Amino acid sequence: MKKLINNPDDVVREALEGMAAAHPDLLTVHFDPTYVVRADGVPDGKVGLLSGGGSGHEPMHNGFVGRGMLDAACPGEVFTSPTPDQMQAATEAIDAGAGVLHIVKNYTGDVMNFEMAEEMAESGGIDVRSVVIDDDVAVEDSTYTAGRRGVGGTVLIEKICGAAADKGYSLDDLEALCTRCNDNVRSMGMALTSCTVPTAGEPTFDLGEDEMEIGIGIHGEPGRKRMEVEPADQIVERLMTPIVEDLPFKDGDDVILFVNSMGGTPLIEVYLAYRKAAELAEQHGLRVVRNLVGPYITSLEMAGLSITMMRADDDIVELWDAPVHTPGMRWGA
């Protein structure tokens, strides 16, 4: 294992210390229990927005804490769910009297830990709701009863819900919006290489020099199939087709198109892939009204990319355009 780290056990803590040092204007990092919270406090009467999950997907979620997006995030160990005591402490920190919404990616550990946190917070008198994100079309819902995984759609949803909370949405309305966004977003990813969890020291899986895995999750879980590497345009088509067919997106739909690097794929290749993804979207009669390109939900140093598409009405586009200022995403502010 060759990594720019000190001790594998200290990676998460030292990275958080770095974030705190780099962005004191935007966020504060608490330890024991560990959570990241916006530096300027939650305005009175605003619904608090919390997400969290294993580390190793940076900038998600810690990098989305600030103004106009998440109020707090709970990082776990690399690829391991955070624990309810972290979530409870963060929930209490961001409750400004209007309740707190938890955005949870659909992984067994995450769902159970958030569920416990929700029970604990409610017994403490805070109104907490949670929405589980499950946008990964690579997992066949009917066969695998753990259900679809939460992947790239989470990034778009955190931005849109952050803007809505800022705008004064009630907890009920925010929960409904979050659910509607999840219903209208689909994603699929692929990997050219594996990644190495620092404490494991070895690659999570083996992928030959000429092989790729289609339908990969964000922790190196297996995908739909393993096959020989193809030209980028064909790979993009392999991801776009199931996405378009699954919702289904219809001729004339407005969409937000998000092409994401898994961490190891350089932007030059991500833009090359975006070019084809946008072309295919148009061929399906879709209007790409907004887009996002770059590394936003990563799997450590894994090479590969994921594509996410959300059907967007005027409300969603307006919320997307609202000012956001976080370490990982910034515009209009």
Partner 1 sequence: MPLTAPDLHAWIRAFADRVAEERAYLTKLDSAIGDGDHGQNMNRGLSHAVDQIDDDASMSDTMRTVAMALISKTGGASGPLYGTLFMDAGKTTAEHEELGTPEVAALFRAGLNGVQRRGKAEPNDKTMVDALLPAVEALEDAAENGTPLSEAIQQAANAAKKGMEATTPLEARKGRASYLGERSKGHQDPGATSTYYLLDAAATAWSDRA
Active site residues: 57, 219
Q: Interior CA angle at 29 toward 176 and 111, to 5°?
A: 40
6 vs 145, which CB is nearer to partner 1? Answer: 145
Binding string to partner 1 for residues 7 to 36, with x set by CB under 8 A, is what? --------------------------x---
Contact 67, 38 (CB under 8 A): yes
162, 217, 263, 328: residue in contact with partner 1 (rule CB under 8 A): 217
* DSSP at 196: B
35, 57, 65, 79: residue in contact with partner 1 (rule CB under 8 A): 79
Measured between alpha carbons, how far is 324 from 96 in angstroms, rounded to an integer? 20
Q: How far is the CB of 262 from partner 1 (least distance, A)?
A: 17
Q: Does 200 engage in binding with partner 1 (CB under 8 A)?
A: yes
Q: Does 242 engage in binding with partner 1 (CB under 8 A)?
A: no
* 208 exposure class (CB count in 10 Å sphere: 0-12, 13-18, 19+): exposed
Q: Which residues of 151-165 are buried (b: 16+ CB within 10 A; e: fewer)?
A: bbbbbbbbbbbbbbb
8, 109, 242, 294: residue in contact with partner 1 (rule CB under 8 A): 109
71, 77, 158, 175: residue in contact with partner 1 (rule CB under 8 A): 77
Stretch that binds partner 1, among 13-21, 36-44, 138-146, 232-240 (CB under 8 A): 138-146
* DSSP at 67: B
Measured between alpha carbons, how far is 221 from 54 in angstroms, rounded to an integer? 14
Stretch that binds partner 1, among 65-73, 178-186, 213-221, 288-296 (CB under 8 A): 213-221
Q: How far is the CB of 223 from partner 1 (least distance, A)?
A: 9
Alpha helices in the chain (DSSP H): 11-22, 84-94, 108-123, 153-166, 171-183, 232-246, 267-283, 314-321
Q: Does 271 engage in binding with partner 1 (CB under 8 A)?
A: no
Q: Is beta strand 35-38 parallel, antiparallel or unpaired with respect to 48-55?
A: unpaired
Stretch that binds partner 1, among 39-47, 82-90, 163-171, 233-241 (CB under 8 A): 82-90
Q: Does 84 engage in binding with partner 1 (CB under 8 A)?
A: yes
Nearest to 257 by CA among 161, 163, 155: 155
Q: How distant, in Å, are the alpha carbons of 162, 178, 293 from that of 323?
A: 10, 18, 18
Q: Does 293 engage in binding with partner 1 (CB under 8 A)?
A: no
226-228-232-236 Cα dihedral, nearest 10 degrees: -30
Q: Does 142 engage in binding with partner 1 (CB under 8 A)?
A: no
Q: Does 253 engage in binding with partner 1 (CB under 8 A)?
A: no
Stretch that binds partner 1, among 17-25, 78-86, 186-194, 318-326 (CB under 8 A): 78-86
Interface contacts to partner 1, rule CB under 8 A: 33, 76-77, 79-85, 107-109, 112-113, 115-116, 139, 143-146, 149, 199-200, 204, 217, 219, 221-222
